[in-house]
């Protein structure tokens, strides 16, 4: 009789996992909302000493879902700007605001909603490739660990010094095809007027236009199914051990 109990527990485990997986799948498809955004370039330029940051605005109003994350990907066009560690879109700043502005200086002066966590807990970077000649160090604004160094990138401010030399400051270069994902501190309602502003240091033809997605989901977090599997497996082992102890 004791030998039968182990396969029986095995079947219960399988059923439980299947149920968990089905629930998560249906919850995802019921609420999933991801879309690509189009951008309008604002008048004028802003930034730090060089004052060469171009600012782009996207309308997030009335998307039909609250947004929890945003992903920004370089166009991978391999056009414009400097090579090496300065390759591709030079990301100066990102803001989300209920206020509509039409020129770059006004975007710089916006306070913006307090939704971003620019540490590695809320900001995830997948580097793109450097164009030749490749630098031995990581892309500009990125630490040796592959994490955005926000003391250098200052993604909360449109303050980029858009030079490809020792004076460079205030941005992170994404590399060709690189991606940054921001998980917001709280979901943002889109039922009121809502606008996204991003800046490109140098304003020199490096774009992410059409390569930005917003989602009602957080990204880059541990898979819920894996966690469920681990915890159920833990229960299984606990039960097995208990039986064994009993049998002995």
Stretch that binds Ca ion, among 21-29, 92-100, 179-187, 211-219 (CB under 5 A): 92-100
Q: Could you tell me which residues come within 8 angstroms of residue 125 by beta carbon, excluding any fewer than 6 positions away?
A: 142, 146, 147, 148, 172, 178, 179, 180, 181
Q: Is 175 in the site for Ca ion (CB under 5 A)?
A: no
Mask of contacts with Ca ion, 203-242, x by CB under 5 A?
-x-x------------------------------------
Tell me how far apart the alpha carbons of residues 45 and 222 are, in angstroms, rounded to a whole number: 40
Q: How many residues does the chain have?
A: 248
Q: Is 86 in the site for Ca ion (CB under 5 A)?
A: yes
Q: Is 129 in the site for Ca ion (CB under 5 A)?
A: no
Which one, 137 or 238, has the nearer CB to Ca ion?
137
Angstrom distances, CA of residue 48 to CA of 67, 88, 108, 161: 30, 19, 10, 5
Q: Is 81 in the site for Ca ion (CB under 5 A)?
A: yes
Stretch that binds Ca ion, among 28-36, 83-91, 128-136, 219-227 (CB under 5 A): 83-91
Q: Indicate the pairing of strand 123-126 with strand 179-188.
A: antiparallel
* Residue selected from 93, 96, 101, 212 as contacting Ca ion according to rule CB under 5 A: 93
């Amino acid at each position: 009789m004791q030998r039968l109990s182990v396969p029986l527990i095995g079947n219960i485990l399988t059923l439980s996992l299947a149920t968990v997986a089905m629930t998560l799948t249906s919850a995802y498809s019921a609420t999933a909302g991801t879309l690509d955004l189009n951008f309008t370039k604002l008048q004028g330029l802003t930034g730090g000493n060089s004052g060469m940051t171009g600012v782009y605005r996207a309308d997030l109003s009335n998307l039909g879902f609250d947004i929890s994350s945003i992903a920004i990907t370089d166009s991978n066009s391999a056009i414009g700007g400097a090579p090496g560690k300065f390759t591709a879109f030079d990301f100066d700043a990102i803001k989300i605001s209920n206020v509509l502005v039409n020129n770059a200086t006004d975007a710089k002066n916006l306070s913006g909603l307090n939704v971003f966590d620019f540490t590695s807990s809320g900001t995830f970077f997948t580097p793109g490739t450097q164009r030749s000649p490749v630098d031995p160090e990581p892309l500009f604004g990125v630490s040796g660990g592959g994490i955005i160094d926000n003391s250098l990138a200052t993604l909360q401010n449109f303050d980029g010094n858009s030079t490809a030399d020792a004076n460079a400051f205030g941005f992170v270069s994404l590399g060709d095809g690189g991606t940054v994902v921001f998980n917001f501190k709280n979901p943002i309602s889109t039922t009121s007027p809502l606008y996204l502003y991003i800046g490109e240091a140098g304003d020199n033809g490096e774009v992410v236009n059409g390569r930005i997605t917003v989602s009602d989901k957080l990204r880059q977090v541990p898979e819920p199914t894996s966690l469920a599997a681990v915890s159920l497996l833990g229960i299984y082992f606990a039960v097995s051990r208990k039986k064994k102890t009993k049998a002995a």
